[in-house]
Structure 1
């Protein structure tokens, strides 16, 4: 019989939750076959069979939390799919034999105890006939026997007999009083707790509710977001950008772009290029804090927040500064699809230096994005709305406008740098030809 254990997942991941078993007891598996899907903090991963054979036992259920090294199943290398009735019969015979042995052992033990009690009773009868016991307590043999059975100290029992002789009924009364005292306190506490719980439930929810356990990823997201707020001096600065030039350029080039690169020209490639350009001008927003050191990153791995059914994930576009518009659009599309299909790998989620999140696709007008720690900057995009704008010549025109939000860690990024960073993005988006020229 071979064990299947939770394998090493990644340096930062030591546990997960069993999302789904892909096999059941009695199934035939080959070495390397996927047997279950494990939900971790970041991605879902498949665990493969370490041995070929038949699944003899499943140790953990769906929804159970497991750690690296835990035994989750056992494989019978010599078994046959569907299980063997002969093996099952042998196992049952073994169990019955064990039960018989246990039963005989208990009967022998009980017989020995009876003999010991009989001898002790005879000794006590001799003591009582002389009028004294070990503690000079006068008691009938039956009372002494009952006291031993109940674990009562005869010296603590008050006799009702005028001569002071303790009888069995005195022992029973003492035992009854002791039990009532022991039971009274826990009962009172239990009643108080139950009453308190019921009152709490009624006070909190007067109407029906539905409870559902948070997924491991949702728990991790919640934990990380709270940690980001507690462990950083997070502030947000805002600006607005005129999308006229980008929308015009995109309208003019989108068909040719699609025919040439087989991918649509979206807004995210413009903002990714703009972010890279701004990070080069303000490198502290491409840094992080490690202990008492500021680590400036000399690369531009930009995270793209993607919403999935299981929560928000942030896959990373590597070396965004080296990609052209088509390369960025293709990479964003590839990562977004893998995120929705739950096929992202751990290395596609790690090591980003800055993050972009686009709440505008859901209709958000304005928000304050939370930092993706340990990064110190995140850019929030919002929906495009036509608004009446006063132009430099004092004329009023209707322009497609978008609010931008930059959240940053004030511990290493000053307000001046944050504002100038956002202004630089605004300038690059409002004059996108600079982006095209800089490539």
Structure 2
């Protein structure tokens, strides 16, 4: 009998929630077959079977939180398809009365000493394993890591430190949390937040607390872009097999502006500025599970068709929950398009640790005063640039957004250079 365990998935994934079992008790599986889908903070991950055999028992059901190393089921390498632990246990009951297994006091004590791990704690898998062995709550372990990540030596140092007054027990904390719930006289529905939604909420609040975020606005006349798309869209589709959308124009304009204002392509690490010499542009995508930001790699080296194809592919993967960690990591700047849903104006929140995000909005025809003082009805879009004022001064931010406006209002050079 083999145990089905949560394997080491990636450096940044140590916990997850069982989203869906892809097999059931009694099913025959081959080594390498996907057997369970795990929802993590960032992406959904399929766990593959390490053995060939029959699923005899499912221990952790859908919706349960699990950690790396946890046993979630059992598999019999010599089992026959259609036979689960239910039928086998029934046979055993008919053969002889089942005796209550004797409890090992030392094991019982050891298990009760291991606290429930806090999903908000960032820790390496080795640190979590050591904490479980020592019966230490990771939320109580101080760390010297500037990013707050708990490492094995932090756990050892906490274990060897002089013991302080005991913290409130978990049941006490749970009772306190329960007492904070607002009771209503009228009907309500309580729905547990998904792990990803909890992470999104936590990250957005941290950005607001840990950055000096400011937003500047401008507007762009989309006449030239729309006219160019109208002229080229059929040939573009025929040649490249993908439609010419607005996003490639904005991605190219952002790359051009980042080259002129490199601090918007930077991030803070400790007391250093890391100015990136690459242009990996995150494109925000809305899914049923929340907003995700897959990354178009090397947008400066791709033509319009390459960018549009990447956006189509990443968008489909996002909606199908097929994004990998590689698809989401390492972006240097983000573009988000609230105009897709009809937004006229918004202040986008930074995608940390990036220091800039461009918000696109709805295109609306408005009367505009032209240089010769005549009035024309033009398709106008409001742009919003949120930036981290710790790195970027207001002058740079305003000039960055003006430069994007200029390139979009005269997009022929963008298309030729692209």
How many angstroms apart in 1 are the aligned matches of 2:367 and 2:59? Answer: 65
Rg comparison, structure with higher value = 1
Counterpart of 2:157 in structure 1 is none
Please give the residue correspondences for 1:17-416 in structure 2 after superposition, counting only pairs within 5 Å. Answer: 17-83=17-83, 87-88=88-89, 91-92=92-93, 96=97, 98=99, 204-416=183-395
How many angstroms apart in 2 are the aligned matches of 1:66 and 1:245? Answer: 53
How many angstroms apart in 1 are the aligned matches of 2:26 and 2:316? Answer: 35
Residue segments in structure 1 that go unaligned for 5+ positions in a row: 103-192
More helix by share: 1
Deviation, structure 1 residue 392: 0.9
Cα deviation digits, residues 87-127 of structure 1 (max 9, x gap): 4356326872525x99xxxxxxxxxxxxxxxxxxxxxxxxx
Q: TM-score, normalised by structure 1?
A: 0.75
Aligned residues, how many?
344
How many angstroms apart in 1 are the aligned matches of 2:369 and 2:396? Answer: 27
Deviation, structure 1 residue 204: 4.3
How many angstroms apart in 2 are the aligned matches of 1:224 and 1:238? Answer: 24
Counterpart of 1:133 in structure 2 is none
Cα deviation digits, residues 7-27 of structure 1 (max 9, x gap): 111111111100011112222
C-alpha root-mean-square deviation of aligned residues, in Å? Answer: 2.1
Q: TM-score, normalised by structure 2?
A: 0.79
How many angstroms apart in 1 are the aligned matches of 2:11 and 2:315? Answer: 24
How many angstroms apart in 1 are the aligned matches of 2:87 and 2:329? Answer: 51
How many angstroms apart in 2 are the aligned matches of 1:268 and 1:97? Answer: 66
Matched, 1:423 2:402: yes
How many angstroms apart in 1 are the aligned matches of 2:282 and 2:392? Answer: 19
DSSP-derived class of the 1:320 partner: coil
How many angstroms apart in 1 are the aligned matches of 2:351 and 2:308? Answer: 22
How many angstroms apart in 2 are the aligned matches of 1:97 and 1:273? Answer: 70
Deviation, structure 1 residue 315: 0.4
DSSP-derived class of the 1:258 partner: helix
How many angstroms apart in 2 are the aligned matches of 1:89 and 1:393? Answer: 90
Structure 1 residues 424 and 95: alpha-carbon distance in aligned structure 2, compared to 1, 3 A threshold: farther
Cα deviation digits, residues 161-195 of structure 1 (max 9, x gap): xxxxxxxxxxxxxxxxxxxxxxxxxxxxxxxx9xx
Counterpart of 1:123 in structure 2 is none
